Structures are given as C-alpha cells and as structure tokens.
Amino acid sequence: MLRLAIVASIFACIQTATTPTVTADTSICKGSSSLFPHPTSCQRYTNCSKVAPHSYSRYFKDYEEECPYPHLFDITENKCKHFREAECGSARIAAKEPCEYLKNKCGGAHCEPCQSRLPSCVKRTNGIHAHPMKLWSPYFIECDTERTIGVRWCPKHSPTDSIALFSPDKKACVSRWEIPREQGGLEPSCEGKDDRMYQVANRTDVFYACPGPRVSYCGNGSSFNESTQVCEQTTRKSV
C-alpha cells in the first residue's frame, strides 16, 4: 500500500489581498469577554477577550475569529470542534469548501490561488481523487464527507525507484509507464504486436503484456528476458 505524503504547510498562505477593512458593531462585546457564534457562518465566531489587532483584519470584523478548516464553532460548548461533532444550529451555514474559510483566501500576486492550493471535495465521494487543477501530476486529494482533509503527494514508485504520478483513471499513484503518452507518460503500445510480453524501451526491469498493455515490474535488481519471458537476476540498466 502506498504511503501518502502530506504536502507540507498546504493550508498556509500569506494574505495580501486589497479587500477593505470591515468595521463592525462591537456592542456585543461591551462589558463581556465571552465567545459568541457568528449569526450565519458556522466556522466563525466573536472573541470578546481578544485585544490584539487581527492579522486578517481586511477580511474580518473587530473581534471576529474563525476556526481552522474544517472545524466548526459549536453553539453549545462555544468552541471550535471537529465538523462531525459541532452543533451549528438552524440558522448557521456549515461551510464545506476550504476556500469558504476566509483565512484560506489569497489575493496577492505571489500566492497560489486558493482553489489551486485547496481544491473542493463537494460532490465527491469519500477517499482519494485526482487534484482537479493538477491532473496527471504527483498531487491528489483526500475527501471525507465533502471536506478536503488533505492534499497529498505520491511517494516514489518503489519497483522502479522513480517518480510516481496520480492516475485519475486508476485512482492510484503509478509509474510513468502506466501513464498515457498523451498525458506525458511512457505507456507502451501493443499496436501491431503479437500476444506475448515485451520489455519497454530503455528500461530492462519494466515489461508489458499484450493484448493490453498490462505493465509489470521485475524488481530486486532483475531484468526481463523477452526470450524466456521471465525476470532474471542481472544488473539493472536505467535510463
């Protein structure tokens, strides 16, 4: 089973947008140090004990805070909780997309757009999917209850010790020899070939069966012998 590598700091981005600062009615906090849920957004709340300037002031009202994605602010316990456990109430909307969280927004010239960094899992099943904006790359996403719980990176393809790419067709990290050539891969062709197994060009430990192609790997330093149709222990030659 492939080990999934979480892309470091994927949810971090310096906010440099030019959205004007919002001035709020802070009367709710007069004489209070309590936390209050936002009236319509389940991930946001008012923290009346906060006295330092807000680092995201261009997005938030005074004293306003936001739970880290994908947490939500629970109206019963007045704290951020896992989205499966938080109680939003009937009037507050529970955001599902990462880019619905204001802290994930990015409007600066040197920040990758939010949808590219943090694609949505809305209308996607639980599990792993191709990164919609980085198809046929090492990137893929993991979804849970329509939340984007991770942007992942394929580890090396172990049998060939080479880069792996995520195949939207197979929903798995595969070697370049399993990626169609029109998508930048090295997938071999069975066109005009007999029904047998063949070694790929420039790599002795990778072979494929026709009809197909069905790609396989020798591993353990062995090479595929087209005459005997088996992998034999030899010194491997690489590209």
Topology annotation, domain 18-105: Antimicrobial Protein, Tachycitin; Chain A (2.170.140)
139-160 pLDDT, tens digit each:
999 999 999 999 999 999 999 9
How much is the average pLDDT of 86-111? 89
- Domain locations in the chain? 1-16+115-186, 18-105, 188-239
Q: Are 176 and 194 in contact (CB under 8 A)?
A: no
Backbone angles phi, psi at 149, to 5 degrees: -90, -5
- The better pLDDT of the pair 239, 166 is held by 166
The terminus-to-terminus CA distance of the chain in angstroms comes to: 26
Note the pTM of the prediction, 2 decimals: 0.78
The sheet that has 214-217: what strands, in order across it? 197-199, 206-209, 214-217
Q: What span, in angstroms and rounded, lies between the C-alpha atoms of 136 and 74?
A: 39
Give the chain's mean pLDDT: 86
Q: Which residue bears the tokens 């790609």?
A: 215
7-40 pLDDT, tens digit each:
334 444 434 333 333 334 456 787 677 899 999 9
166-184 pLDDT, tens digit each:
999 999 999 999 999 999 9
Render 66-109 in DSSP notation, one character per residue.
EPPTT-EEETTTTEEE-TTT----SSSB---SGGGSGGG---ST
